[in-house]
Amino acid sequence: MANDQNFNPITAAGYRQIEQEIAALEADRPHKIASLAEARSHGDLSENAEYSAAKRDLRHLESRLRFLNKERQYARIVTPSATDTVEIGKWVTLEFLDDHSTATYQIVGAPEVDLAAGKATQVSPLGRAVMDHQAGDIVTVVAPAASYQVKLLRVALTAPDTPN
């Protein structure tokens, strides 16, 4: 395998998600091509809004496919170990020491980031700060707007509400 720095770490679930989106786009591609052909058959292309929309839709689909195929090509699936150390794929429960609120995030590869779903990337300020630390550690997160401290309360392979 080439140098690991040329690859993007990703969880197995994140890799599957990319593959599923590629499959869905590839399944939709013939429909987009047929729509473009149908719109093209309506005559004057310079004033054909349906043709312009179909062409734009196909171009968007092709662009997304190229992007996802590159993501997949440069992805390296990471399987977290059974240690108590923060790694990609692990779930981390944190206490923010400024207001004592808590939050739980899964540390994931950059292509998988979804804060609404509790997935923080290892290259974010928070992810960088907690990587390679263990439960009980207090770390400083250096973010663009300010720095703050968090205490790692839990590091695990599963989400807190998931049975081990």
Q: Is the pTM of this model over 0.85?
A: no
pLDDT band per the 50, 70, 90 thresholds, residue 160: confident
Span(s) in the chain for CATH 3.10.50.30: 91-156
Work out the number of other CB atoms within 10 angstroms of the CB of residue 107. 25
**3-state class of 14 per DSSP?**
helix
Report the CATH number of the 91-156 domain: 3.10.50.30
Q: What is the mean pLDDT of the chain?
A: 91
Would you say 113 and 17 are in contact if contact means Cβ atoms under 8 Å apart?
A: no
Query: Of 1.20.140.10, 3.40.50.970, 3.20.20.140, 1.10.287.180, which CATH number belongs to 4-77?
Result: 1.10.287.180
Write out pLDDT tens, residues 53-109: 999 999 999 999 999 999 999 999 999 999 999 999 999 999 999 999 999 999 999
* Rounded distance between C-alpha atoms, residue 32 and residue 41, angstroms: 14
Span(s) in the chain for CATH 1.10.287.180: 4-77
